[in-house]
Chain A
């Protein structure tokens, strides 16, 4: 009897693991299109613990009332369908944006520095929450970096955020 149960348990374990692999592969194949859907409307409101780091960082960078107001409300920034003339800006020049984040920003419709520079507090809160960054967007001053890069203020950018990445 014990042997029978052991066999059954082993089979179930093996099939469970097989299911895990199938599920993971299925998400890789079909998950990318399904992903933006739940993201545009978060299923449940963020908890205070999730909001606090974003709020704290935003407060340090903006007037108190505006920061509190903006971080309590999140709004998805509006992206575009493609880069102008098919040439996106090198968003990886923003310190904190790596190849993967650049890809995500492209997926969200952001290809140019001035788009990121135009983010409001609500937009920042949404992006930060979406990327699960716990305030990184504000801490690393993505918007300020993007503003300098968009305006062509290379000298000031390098002085404040380091030399140009190659």
Chain B
């Protein structure tokens, strides 16, 4: 269990898979933009 939640050197994952991180960020921005609809009341 301790091994499973050991995230030492996890930054390496981000550096290696930076393209996917960019995709996730772009998708997140897109979703955030379209979900942030101001409701009237």
Q: How many residues of B contact A (CB 8 A)?
A: 27
Stretch from A10-18, A83-91, A149-157 forming part of the interface with B: A10-18
Q: What is the bound-complex CA distance between A6 and B39, given in angstroms?
A: 37
B28 and A23: CB pair below 8 A? yes
Are A100 and B40 interface neighbours, CB within 8 A?
yes
Contact between B20 and A12, CB atoms less than 8 A apart:
yes
**A23 to B32, Cβ gap below 8 A?**
yes
State how many angstroms separate the Cβ of A32 from the closest Cβ of chain B.
Answer: 8
Query: Which chain B positions have C-beta within 8 A of A7?
Result: 7, 10, 13
A28-42 residues with Cβ-Cβ distance < 8 A to B are 28, 31
Identify whether the interface residues of B are mostly helix, strand, loop, or mixed.
helix
A118 interface residue, CB < 8 Å from B? no
Shortest C-beta distance, A139 to chain B (Å), equals 15
CB pair B10–A19 under 8 Å, yes or no, is no
Q: Please, what's the 1-or-0 string for B6-41, where 1 marks a CB less than 8 Å from any CB in chain A?
A: 110010011001001100111111111111101111
Do A26 and B20 touch (CB < 8 A)? Answer: no
Quote the shortest CB–CB distance from A48 to chain B (angstroms).
23
Minimum CB–CB distance for B24 against chain A, Å? 4
In the assembled complex, the CB of B21 is this many whole angstroms from the nearest CB of chain A, namely 5
Q: Are the C-beta atoms of A15 and B29 separated by less than 8 Å? A: no
CB pair B25 A19 closer than 8 Å: yes
Asked whether any CB of chain B lies closer than 8 Å to the CB of A80, the reply is no
Known: A23-B30, A24-B32. A12 touches B21 (CB 8 A): yes
Q: How many angstroms from the CA of A20 to the CA of B13 in the assembled complex?
A: 21
- Judging by beta carbons under 8 Å apart, are A23 and B29 in contact? yes
Residue contact A16 to B28, C-beta cutoff 8 Å: yes
In contact, A8 and B28 (Cβ under 8 angstroms): no
13 pairs of residues in contact across A and B, judged by CB atoms under 8 Å: A16-B27, A16-B28, A19-B26, A19-B28, A20-B35, A21-B28, A22-B25, A23-B28, A23-B32, A23-B35, A28-B36, A31-B36, A100-B41
